[in-house]
Amino acid sequence: MKKKYWFPICFIIILGVFIALFFQYYRANFVKKSDFINRELPGFYDINFDSVFSKEENNVSPETKEIVQNYYRYFWEGNNLSGSFIIAKGNTIIFEGYRGLANKDRNIPITSNMPIHLASISKNLTAMAVLKLVEAGKLKLTSKVSSILPKFPYKDIKIFDLLTHRSGMGDYGAYAETEGWFDRKYYLTNAAMLEMFAKFKPKPFNPPNTAFDYCNTNYAFLALVIEKITKKPFPQAMKMIVFDPIGMKNTFVFQKKDINKVSLSYFNNGKIVPWDFRDLVYGDKNIYSTPCDMLKYSQAMFSKKFLRKSLLDSAFAGYSNERKGNKNYGFGFRMFHFDNGKKITFHNGWWHGNQTVFVHLRDEKVTIIALGNQKARAIYSAYSLSSIFGDYPFEIEDRDSLNVKVADTLSIKMYDLITKAKKKSDSLKNIKYHNENRKTKSKDTLKLMKISNDTL
């Protein structure tokens, strides 16, 4: 090489090294580590929350705000519920409330930053992590689970079957209680669950993809699939794929090291629910979060960058149609079809004293989140707020349908409130309410009343 080229080449190399060192120094000294997101895995990156919703989609009427505020006053404060609640339309938070104690012994209050066990809502986040891996070409819905987890004993069960609860497998918790299958002096883990299934090979109740049978085992195995594909522990994989990219700063997968620092759960009499041997299994449960974080997650799902449209649409499709009915299940989403053609998409949860609600109204861009840490079925009343925003024939549930002790004046107050609001705004014409005997309720409403019992 001629000498006349040496100087410019050396200059470019030195300049490149200098720039690299400068950015390394700048990152180490002037930028918080939390501002950087590890993009080693596929994830829900680059979602601009300010541009997801239109001005109209963010608009909320004063009458709607009044109804929600009074709902919280009468149902949450009136029933002395413990937990956190948020409802939003687009980016507009209509109302949020926090009450009760995360730890009664230490007098730690529930605040906006206090994570609460999501219970089975965790399945929804697990499902979306799986779909992100599918979108990235790391996994196929048609992949056989045994091709990913060699010890998995059922050769014909596919990823699709796990996502939709159509594998036919039985509950891992029940099997672990079978004498000789697992020593319950120890915590059951996902890995130990796989070893148990591999050793005893319990016979499925149905052949795969022939019937719906809601079962925690499906999503516990999906967590192992995520670990195998990403080569990361499930808590780390979820942090990299879901939590960090979306900005869910107070959300994490529970591990044994967290036992002494998480919010606790309580029976309805206020006594603490003790830990049991199933409390380290994740994927089906064990994600802790806040309403604000879950709102960001729900808002992200409205973004075109969340998943490609066809894949996201498949999550909201129902796949169990062997029997006629209004209920169905997609990928981590429950759905309830009404006779008028409307469909509500949601997931709920119940684990120990935690009872939870996550409603994601696609048409109306509405999110409803209720997280309780002291057992009370009144938490599920949050579903009925859907009827404020669209033609969902839910009724604001009365004290009999909730099976809780509420003053008789509660129903009268809610009726008066909604009647007053309906006179103010035609947009609230879809709200329905009465305090009649349960036997007189419509077919849709009777089915709604069963959601709390049938779909946890």
Percent of the chain residues topping a pLDDT of 90:
72
Q: Quick one: pLDDT band at residue 129, thresholds 50, 70, 90?
A: very high
Query: What is the pLDDT averaged over residues 170-186?
Result: 95
Query: What is the pLDDT averaged over residues 211-229?
Result: 98
Query: What is the pLDDT averaged over residues 378-397?
Result: 82
Query: What is the pLDDT averaged over residues 363-379?
Result: 96
Q: State pLDDT tens for residues 17-45.
A: 777 666 566 555 554 444 567 899 999 99
Lookup: tokens for 72? 């919280």
Element (H, E) at 346: strand 343-351
Q: Are 127 and 331 in contact (CB under 8 A)?
A: yes
pTM above 0.95, yes or no: no
Lookup: tokens for 167? 């594998």
Q: Are 333 and 347 in contact (CB under 8 A)?
A: yes
Lowest mean pLDDT among 117-121, 318-322, 404-408: 404-408
Question: What is residue 28's predicted lDDT score, i.e. its pLDDT?
Answer: 52
Q: State pLDDT tens for residues 60-98.
A: 999 999 999 999 998 899 999 999 999 999 999 999 999
Q: Quick one: pLDDT band at residue 370, thresholds 50, 70, 90?
A: very high
Domain spans of the chain? 3-36, 62-454
Question: What is residue 36's predicted lDDT score, i.e. its pLDDT?
Answer: 66
The whole-angstrom separation of Cα 77 and Cα 289 is 22
Query: What is the pLDDT averaged over residues 157-178?
Result: 97
Using CA atoms, how far residue 237 sits from 43, 135, 243, 374, in Å, is 10, 16, 9, 30
Residue with more model confidence, 161 or 412: 161
Question: What is residue 43's predicted lDDT score, i.e. its pLDDT?
Answer: 95
Query: What is the pLDDT averaged over residues 105-133?
Result: 97
Question: What is residue 324's predicted lDDT score, i.e. its pLDDT?
Answer: 84
Question: What is residue 60's predicted lDDT score, i.e. its pLDDT?
Answer: 97
Question: What is residue 8's predicted lDDT score, i.e. its pLDDT?
Answer: 67
Residue with more model confidence, 222 or 4: 222
Lookup: tokens for 114? 């206090």
Q: Residue 414: phi, psi to the nearest 5?
A: -65, -40
* 51, pLDDT greater than 70: yes
* 422, pLDDT greater than 50: no
Question: What is residue 426's predicted lDDT score, i.e. its pLDDT?
Answer: 43
Burial class (CB in 10 A: 0-12, 13-18, 19+), 435: middle
Q: Tally Cβ neighbours within 10 Å of residue 351.
A: 22
Q: Work out whether the CA dihedral 418, 423, 424, 430 comes out positive or negative.
A: positive
Strands 108-109 and 334-337: unpaired
Residue with more model confidence, 205 or 451: 205
Q: Are 314 and 329 in contact (CB under 8 A)?
A: no
No. of helices (H) and no. of strands (E), the chain: 16, 12
What mean pLDDT is reported for the chain?
86
Question: What is residue 37's predicted lDDT score, i.e. its pLDDT?
Answer: 79
Using CA atoms, how far residue 36 sits from 39, 238, 371, in Å, is 9, 16, 30
Q: In CATH, which of 3.30.70.330, 3.30.365.10, 3.40.710.10, 3.40.50.970 is domain 62-454?
A: 3.40.710.10
The whole-angstrom separation of Cα 254 and Cα 189 is 12
Q: State pLDDT tens for residues 298-334.
A: 999 999 999 999 999 999 999 999 888 889 999 999 9
